[in-house]
Amino acid sequence: MDHLYCIDLFAGAGGISIGLEEAGFTCLYANEVSPIYSTTLEKGHPDAFVERGDIRKVDAGSVRRVLQLEKGDLALLAGGPPCQGFSVNAPVRSTDDERNHLFRDYLRFVEEFEPAAVLIENVPGMVSYEKGQTVKEILKALENLGYDAAVRILYAPHYGVPQMRWRTIFLGNRLGIDPHHMFPLPSHYAKGRANFTKSLDGVSLVMSDDDVRASAEREFLTVQEAIGDLPAAVSDDALVYATAPQNAFQSHVRRLSRKPENHQSAGLGPANLARLPHIPPGGSWRDIPFDLLPAGMKRARRSDHTKRYGRLHPEGIASTILTKCDPHWGSYIHPSEDRIISVREAARIQTFPDHIQFYGSLTDQYKQVGNAVPPLLSKAIGEKVREVLFSDRTVSTFSRWHEPQMRIAV
């Protein structure tokens, strides 16, 4: 039993599969509809079959045959399909946004491959969508396919990710194992403020602060620890690291890289450049002189827009990395330089390894990073799932791994 194979659907730039591979899985196949995202995915997973295109047009049976896998050979099927509005009782197509039905295509792959375990990720807000009905429908759909599944909302800093990011995670298996045992315990301590519905039918989906303290063995990773070895961001492709790795995280992300790729920062206009020198580390728009504020913010209350024009504090945790690191959106100003963070710095805060290059325009690159699942969060999940799959109870039930002979489409 030497191999743990996984598939990544709705893969984006590959944040989930990168983390799963770091946890010991081998990604055999990934699907992504965006051509630009697919290029990043393909370059980052040279040994996987990366299929570009609409998953609704993909025959799951053909994929399984190309990979030469029998039903039950796949260890884990992962993905982040749009789920809001999904219902097992809804029509396959309706007048609603069709993206909400893409979860059915995830289920097609589950049915075809019969993986030992399933992983689904989504935004934390989906728990309150339709008063939790969508979450219940997803759990029911997996149950109908023979999976015991559970849902939790995980806080990325608890797993070594230096940003305030929450994700809803579904995990399930068809091995008779309690799915709650598949969720990783926190390794890092950080306080997290949940500004969303965090319970379902009266049961909290978020680990309590006391339980986090009892589990975590170290403090959270700081912004400085994540990006402190990177040089000033310029357009020169001949960049070198500013220092040797300063900690285990930097050694980890640099292990396959000679230089920091994608270390370019989007430019700012004269008005924004005039504002930045007034903002100290950890500061925000409140530190900008009134006459330099944007017109709309001159009318704002001091309690509003707490993160806008925020400068990252080197000893703190970053704001959630979004698809556009615009200072008007949040805290994306470099801790010490008067610029927004570069694509590579955003990728570091997302915990992408430095050898993963992002393709397309600078705007495309920021979007790919912001839309991704942090690889270290995925790695923590993958390691726990691997532990469950290799437990003594599981080995006799799930023991059909083999090396597929083909990894390209025919």
Residues with catalytic annotation? 83
Task: Give the whole-angstrom CA distance, residue 29 versus residue 114.
Answer: 15
- Type of residue found at 339: R
List Cα–Cα distances, 199 to 128, 135, 153, 202, 298, in angstroms.
Answer: 9, 11, 9, 6, 37
Q: How far is CA 13 from the centre of its chain?
A: 10
Nearest by Cα to 272 from 334, 345, 338, 329? 338
| Contacts with 400 (C-beta within 8 Å, 6 or more apart), sequence order | 70, 72, 73
What number of other Cβ atoms are within 10 A of residue 277's Cβ? Answer: 10
Instruction: Check: CB of residue 74 under 8 Å from CB of residue 110.
Output: no
For residue 236 the two structure tokens come to 């020169």
CA distance 167 to 318: 16
- Nearest to residue 123, comparing CAs of 151, 158, 88, 150? 151
DSSP 247: S
Q: Which two tokens stand for residue 232?
A: 């000033």
Residues pairing with 153 in the sheet: 168
Whole-angstrom CA distances from 231 to 184, 300, 336 are 34, 36, 12
Contact 336, 279 (CB under 8 A): no
Helix, strand or coil for residue 6?
strand
**Beta bridge mates, 26:** 5
Strand intervals (E) in 176-286:
188-189, 199-200, 203-204, 218-219
Query: Alpha carbon of 168 to those of 46, 165, 197: distances in Å?
Result: 29, 10, 11
